[in-house]
Amino acid sequence: MVDIAARVWNHKWKIDPIIRSLIDTDFYKLLMCQSVFRNKPDTQVTFSLINRSKNVPLAHLIDEGELREQLDHIRSLSLSRGESTWMRGNTFYGKRQMFTSEFMDWFEALRLPPYHLERHGDQYELTFKGSWPEVMLWEIPALAVLMELRSRAVLNIMGRFELQVLYARAMTKLWEKIKKLRELDGLRVADFGTRRRHSFLWQDWAVQAMYEGLSEKFVGTSNCLIAKNRDVEAIGTNAHELPMVYSALAENDQALARAPYDVLSDWQEEHDGNLRIILPDTFGTEGFLKNAPDWLAGWTGIRIDSGDPALAAENAIKWWGMRGEDPTQKLVIFSDGLDASKIEELHKQFRDRVRVSFGWGTMLTNDFIDLTEQDALAPFSLVCKAIDANGKPTVKLSDNPNKAMGPNKEIERYKRVFGVGDQVSIEVVV
Give the pLDDT band of residue 191 (cuts 50, 70, 90). very high
Average pLDDT, the chain: 95
- CATH number 3.20.140.10 given to 4-157+385-394: yes
- What's the pLDDT at 422? 75
pLDDT confidence band for 278 (50 / 70 / 90): very high
Q: Which of 363, 365, 362 is nearest to 340 (CA)?
A: 363
The yes-or-no verdict on residue 263 having pLDDT over 90 is yes
Shared fold status for 4-157+385-394 and 167-365: yes
pLDDT at 90: 95
Q: What is the pTM of this model?
A: 0.95
Give residue 428's pLDDT: 67
Query: Which H, E and C letters describe 175-222, residue by residue?
Result: HHHHHHHCCCCCCCEEECCCCCCCCHHHHHHHHHHHHHHHHHHEEEEC
Task: Examine the pLDDT at 325 and tell me if it is beyond 70.
Answer: yes
Q: What pLDDT shows up at residue 292?
A: 97
52-97 tens-digit pLDDT: 888 999 999 999 999 999 999 999 999 999 999 999 999 999 999 9
Side by side, which strands form the sheet with 123-131? 115-120, 123-131, 44-51, 382-389, 392-393
Domain covering 167-365 in this structure, CATH number: 3.20.140.10
Going by C-beta distance under 8 Å and a sequence separation of 6 or more, which residues neighbour residue 156? 11, 12
Structure confidence by residue, pLDDT tens digits, 201-222: 999 999 999 999 999 999 999 9
Domain positions in the chain: 4-157+385-394, 167-365
User: What's the pLDDT score for residue 15?
Assistant: 67
